[in-house]
Amino acid sequence: MSDAKTRIDETVKANDVVLYMKGTKMAPQCGFSQRVAGVLNFMGVDFADVNVLADDEIRQGIKEYSDWPTIPQLYVKGEFVGGCDIITEMTLSGELDKLFEDNGVTYNKDAADKIREANN
């Protein structure tokens, strides 16, 4: 298990934005992963995707690493942000924009605004 924790830690620290998900950013394998990857893709965020379905150690390890039971899981600048519901709420409230801005993560503000407009 420590090997998985080491690999997760290295990935989270080496990338500004990481999404642990079922599938890949271009081919999500569950609705929750699709929603979060879709938001990040639409907003033009450059993010690393880790397919937990391809590695059982990572699939279990990420849950222990974050002490969060579900996937997807989003990390920004090495910090766990949350899963699908939290990312959805943060997107709609503008908190995700602020998180990206505070951490120097490039994203498309107009796209973020369009998401909010479409959900009002």
Q: Residues 68-117: pLDDT tens digits? A: 999 999 999 999 999 999 999 999 999 999 999 999 999 999 999 999 99
> Is 17 within 8 Å of 47 (Cβ atoms)?
yes
What's the structural domain count of the chain?
1
pTM above 0.85, yes or no: yes
6 pLDDT above the threshold of 60 = yes
* Secondary structure (3-state) at 72: coil
30 annotated among ligand-binding-site residues: yes
C-alpha 19/C-alpha 73 separation (Å) is: 6
Residue with tokens 């600048």: 77
Q: Going by C-beta distance under 8 Å and a sequence separation of 6 or more, which residues neighbour residue 102?
A: none
* Secondary structure (3-state) at 113: helix
CATH of the domain at 104: 3.40.30.10
Q: Is 28 left (phi over 0), alpha (psi -120 to 50) or beta?
A: beta
Model pLDDT, residue 118: 95
Model pLDDT, residue 104: 97
Residue range of the domain that includes 99: 2-118
Model pLDDT, residue 1: 47
